[in-house]
Structure 1
């Protein structure tokens, strides 16, 4: 299997925040627009997807943002078939977090995703819009 067959590029970059309104205001001044603003009921977090052309930032108010250099939490790769990608990651023993596929009711039909950890402790999320 060639993983590139199932990926279409970066879906979003995840940045935790302690103050979502301040974060939204900052990125709006840079030209970003709110693509989606919602609540992650499961985590109890306010969430906003901010878009500037093809760049999307997911910011979420978890009150645990470190507020130091390296504050980006994860990079999400957009995929066409989450099950096939998950199978590939498992086969190649790359599921370092032992994560499973999750669902969130974001966007029109929801999103399915899972996360692994890279060699530098970076989080790599694989995400499929439904």
Structure 2
């Protein structure tokens, strides 16, 4: 029997949003008390990336020079899961893989991260993510 999504989710992982100036954005959030948990480069997207953390709140900031510079400009909400394959199977079986996405891998963190994305009813992007 496969794991149900509500048993697979461990909580909020991060909120992701683009920036036109990573250094300025990092400096701003550091003034608020955030620290850089990871700074890396996404080869696939050609973007510098910083994960900023304060307590259990994590932000993924990536410099793509396409930030809309207006309220509501966050790009995605990431939900942490124990088993990305089980989450993917359930989302697909529920007919919710409306982006026709597959499981992706990025070499972030110590052992990498696997994730996939869907779109919510208000065009919000929801990422299911497992840090390996």
TM normalised by structure 2 equals: 0.97
The one of 18, 31, 34 equivalent to 2:33 is 31
2:65 paired residue number? 63
Structure 1: 5+ residue runs without aligned partners? none
1:12 paired residue number? 14
Number of equivalences: 130
Per-residue CA distance 1:2-39 (angstroms, 9 max, x = gap) = 31110100100001101000100010010000000010
1:112 paired residue number? 114
The one of 37, 47, 72 equivalent to 2:49 is 47
2:96 paired residue number? 94
Name the SS for the 1:113 alignment partner. strand
- Provide the rounded CA distance (Å) in 1 between the counterparts of 2:6 and 2:19: 32
2:83 paired residue number? 81
Q: CA RMSD in A?
A: 0.7
Structure 2: 5+ residue runs without aligned partners? none
- Runs of 4+ residues deviating >4 angstroms: none
